[in-house]
Amino acid sequence: MKHLWLYAVLISCSFIVGCSRTSDILPSPFCDLNSQLPECTYALSGSTVTLHASDVTMPEEQPIVIQIKSEQLVGVKNAYLEGINMYMGKVPVMFSQSSPDTLEAHLRLGACAEPQMQWELNIEFDNPELSTLQVEFSARARSN
């Protein structure tokens, strides 16, 4: 039921609207979520957090699973997507615990008139010592 709500919000936002990093990045080609490797590791205030995307091409209108893995259990206070090259509002991203060290969110990126939509995923953690994680990436346009 929670996932249906998220899909409804994402679809509604795409119809209604149209279509500074605060964390140190450890070397990884996945840091833009569009490389050929499925993971990106970030150093946040002495902790290590790894993001994993089920599809590194980040396709529009297709299911994508984003996972957060960490050595220590981290909670997410707030997470959302924002369009960079086109205003899309703040699209909520709901993470839930899928294993003792992993949080998971299911999402779909809305289709857009832009040839290559740019997004930013913002993740605020429960632990106030961890800085907000901001990850920019490009969405792959859906092929007809």
Distance CA 37, CA 112 (A): 25
Residue identified by tokens 């709500």 is 5
Higher pLDDT, 85 or 45: 85
Instruction: Summarize pLDDT for 47-70 with one digit per residue, the tens.
Output: 888 888 888 778 888 999 999 998
Q: Which of 23-32, 51-60, 71-80, 119-128 has the lowest mean pLDDT?
A: 23-32
Domains, the chain, in order of start with CATH, read 2-138 (2.60.40.1930)
pTM equals: 0.73
Answer whether residue 121 shows pLDDT above 50.
yes
Quick check: 135 and 43 in contact, CB under 8 A? no
Query: Above 70 in pLDDT, residue 131?
Result: yes
- pLDDT (tens digit, 9 = 90+) per residue, 55-112? 877 888 899 999 999 887 789 999 999 988 888 889 999 999 998 889 999 999 888 7
Spatial distance between the Cα atoms of 54 and 67, rounded to a whole number of angstroms: 8
